[in-house]
């Protein structure tokens, strides 16, 4: 196998022989194919895609690059996970994992870091002082048995090829590709030994799939991979035409997730958490209808059981959260500034892509693979699409680590919000479509 020949074949729109493609991928893991060669290959896939057969090879090699947990075993409930294709302000996993555990599911959640302009669950969790996301599989298993949910990243033990490719795609603008997203998500999920899987496929300007058609194609590709391996998959197409909830930024999003677990938080965010937890219960066979799933999820939130699970999860993975303190003991930015409306009108747009890149420019995401993330910085929106404002009304607050960052953040936030004369702008519905495969 000659790496540059493999890259050239994909660059020119050709098809790779399965054996040669598998050798290229395993050689990369062994350090025999360089990062720059893999980056060029990923860009060729970004433009020319993968055939069904090539996608199958990619999923298999990624899945078997680490250990694969077999379904079954003596678990107290169905093993079910939820994974998002990535959005801005998407902190759903922090709520849904403990909530689903409280409802009686076992949630072995393997997440990622920020990817492209979107945030990552691991970065959010690591804003909690002491929280360890790099734990051994043995400890992961112990946390899962004790708490009912556990949250880790790709490791050397499980899905290591995804860990390498994910970090490379993050900084080479090779994220929004249907086969690359499919292989990345499904290789991790197939390794978890699941009974059911819920995919939150984001649609809109803040998502990797801007149109419903592309999001549908991605959902079908992932559901197909799951069905071929006997896992019940529910893909839910959800809105990402504006940030999800109010908070964008790692520690800020943990605070919003806790507010939701305590019974508050933005309404649309809370409703989506309930919906996805209900879908998980259905996919895992815990309930026989979505309605039943919703009422169990609402009950687990209202009774405080979801929050109690979250606290136990944080403690079991070494984190220190202080619910008695207003800031929960999470790091806070030294500088903040409210941005106000400069005119009268109705908010007709909030650009999630601009805010996602804005967060990176504040230091809350990565520009290169080795960057440290500043957990303190971000934005807290005070308006949604459809909110009426008058001059001087707050539209959002910037949290920054430096004077320069604050000025940049104020500019980004001001430009991200469009105020129009006409009333009646409305966001996309929270849930746009559902695609299910029985497994």
How do strand 388-389 and strand 345-350 relate by DSSP bridges?
A: antiparallel
**Cβ neighbours of 419 (radius 10 Å):** 21
Residue span binding ligand URA (CB under 6 A) among the ranges 179-187, 194-202, 296-304, 380-388? 179-187
Distance of alpha carbon 308 from alpha carbon 325, whole angstroms: 16
Query: What's the closest the beta carbon of residue 115 comes to ligand URA, in angstroms?
Result: 5
Is 238 a binder of ligand URA (CB under 6 A)?
Answer: no
Is 221 a binder of ligand URA (CB under 6 A)?
Answer: no
Query: What's the closest the beta carbon of residue 112 comes to ligand URA, in angstroms?
Result: 4
Binding-site member from 65, 174, 184, 348 for ligand URA (CB under 6 A)? 184
The active-site residue out of 188, 255, 270, 296 is: 188
Long-range pairs of 253-256 with CB within 8 A, sequence gap ≥ 24: 253/89, 253/91, 253/94, 253/119, 253/124, 253/378, 254/91, 254/94, 254/124, 254/125, 254/127, 254/128, 254/328, 254/330, 255/327, 255/328, 255/330, 256/91
83 is catalytic: yes
Burial 18-54 (b: 16+ CB within 10 A, else e): eeebbbbbbbbbeeebeeebbbbbbbbbbebebeeeb
Is 115 a binder of ligand URA (CB under 6 A)?
Answer: yes
Residue with tokens 């399965």: 18
Query: What's the closest the beta carbon of residue 293 comes to ligand URA, in angstroms?
Result: 24
382 is catalytic: no
Query: What's the closest the beta carbon of residue 268 comes to ligand URA, in angstroms?
Result: 21
Query: What's the closest the beta carbon of residue 118 comes to ligand URA, in angstroms?
Result: 7
Is 439 a binder of ligand URA (CB under 6 A)?
Answer: no
C-alpha radius of gyration, the chain, whole number: 21
Mark 86-105 with x for binding to ligand URA (rule: CB under 6 A) and - for no binding. Answer: x-------------------
Which one, 181 or 194, has the nearer CB to ligand URA?
181
Binding-site member from 9, 46, 65, 85 for ligand URA (CB under 6 A)? 85
270 is catalytic: no
Query: What's the closest the beta carbon of residue 83 comes to ligand URA, in angstroms?
Result: 6
337 is catalytic: no
Mark 271-300 with x for binding to ligand URA (rule: CB under 6 A) and - for no binding. Answer: ------------------------------
Distance of alpha carbon 352 from alpha carbon 341, whole angstroms: 18
Which one, 6 or 42, has the nearer CB to ligand URA?
42
The active-site residue out of 9, 10, 79, 84 is: 84
> Between 267-283 and 290-302, two packed helices, what is the crossing angle to 10 degrees?
120
The active-site residue out of 169, 216, 366, 376 is: 169
82 is catalytic: yes
Residue span binding ligand URA (CB under 6 A) among the ranges 143-151, 181-189, 321-329, 408-416? 181-189
Binding-site member from 149, 181, 233, 259 for ligand URA (CB under 6 A)? 181
Measuring CA to CA, which residue among 38, 55, 62 is closest to residue 188?
62
**Binding residues for ligand URA, total number by CB under 6 A:** 9
189 is catalytic: yes
**Cβ neighbours of 418 (radius 10 Å):** 14
Distance of alpha carbon 134 from alpha carbon 162, whole angstroms: 15
Look up residue 422 and give its two tokens. 């006409």
Distance of alpha carbon 72 from alpha carbon 295, whole angstroms: 27
Is 243 a binder of ligand URA (CB under 6 A)?
Answer: no
Length of the chain equals 439
Range 157-176, binding ligand URA (CB under 6 A):
175
**Residue 108: CB partners within 8 Å, gap ≥ 6?**
69, 79, 81, 140, 144, 149, 150, 192, 193, 194
CB 226 within 8 A of CB 197: yes
Which residue sits closest to ligand URA, CB atoms considered?
Answer: 184
60 is catalytic: no
How do strand 378-381 and strand 247-248 relate by DSSP bridges?
A: antiparallel
Binding site for ligand URA (CB under 6 A): 85-86, 112, 115, 175, 180-181, 184-185
Which residues are annotated as catalytic?
Answer: 81-84, 121, 169, 184, 188-189
């Amino acid at each position: 196998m000659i790496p540059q020949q493999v890259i050239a074949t994909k660059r020119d729109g050709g098809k790779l022989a399965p054996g040669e493609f598998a050798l290229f991928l395993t050689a990369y893991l062994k350090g025999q194919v360089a990062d720059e060669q893999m980056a060029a290959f990923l860009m060729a896939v970004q433009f020319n895609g993968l055939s069904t057969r090539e996608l199958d090879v990619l999923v298999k090699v990624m899945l078997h690059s680490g250990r694969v947990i077999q379904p079954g075993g003596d678990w107290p409930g169905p093993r079910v996970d939820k994974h998002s294709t990535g959005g801005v302000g998407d902190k759903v996993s922090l709520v849904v994992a403990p909530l689903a555990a409280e409802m009686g599911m076992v949630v072995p959640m393997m997440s990622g870091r920020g990817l492209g302009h979107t945030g990552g669950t691991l970065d959010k969790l690591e804003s909690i002082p002491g929280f360890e996301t790099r734990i051994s599989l043995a400890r992961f298993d112990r946390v899962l048995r004790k708490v009912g949910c556990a949250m880790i990243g790709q490791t050397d033990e499980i899905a290591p090829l995804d860990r390498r490719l994910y970090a490379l795609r993050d900084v080479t603008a090779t994220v929004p590709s249907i086969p690359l997203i499919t292989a990345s998500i499904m290789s991790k999920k197939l390794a978890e030994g699941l009974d059911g899987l819920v995919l939150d496929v984001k649609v809109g300007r803040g998502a990797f799939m801007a149109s419903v058609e592309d999001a549908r194609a991605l959902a079908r590709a992932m559901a197909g991979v799951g069905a071929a391996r006997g896992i019940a998959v529910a893909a839910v197409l959800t809105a990402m035409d504006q940030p999800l909830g109010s908070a964008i930024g790692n520690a800020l999003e943990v605070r919003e997730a806790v507010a939701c677990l305590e019974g508050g938080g933005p309404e649309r965010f809370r409703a989506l958490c309930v919906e996805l937890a209900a879908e998980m219960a259905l996919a895992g066979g815990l309930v026989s209808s979505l309605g039943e799933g919703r009422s169990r999820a609402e009950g687990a939130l209202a009774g405080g059981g979801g929050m109690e699970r979250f606290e136990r999860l944080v403690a079991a993975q070494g984190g220190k959260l202080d619910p008695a303190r207003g800031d929960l003991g999470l790091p806070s930015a030294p500088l903040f500034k409210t941005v106000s409306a400069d005119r009268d009108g109705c908010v007709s747009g909030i650009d999630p892509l601009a805010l996602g890149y804005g967060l990176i420019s504040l230091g809350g995401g990565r520009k290169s693979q080795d960057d440290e993330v500043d957990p303190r910085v971000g934005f807290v929106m005070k308006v949604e699409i459809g909110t009426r404002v008058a001059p001087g009304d707050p539209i959002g607050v910037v949290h920054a680590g430096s004077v320069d960052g604050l000025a940049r953040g104020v500019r980004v936030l001001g430009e991200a919000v469009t105020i129009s004369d006409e009333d009646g702008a409305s966001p996309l519905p929270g849930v746009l479509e559902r695609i299910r495969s029985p497994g």
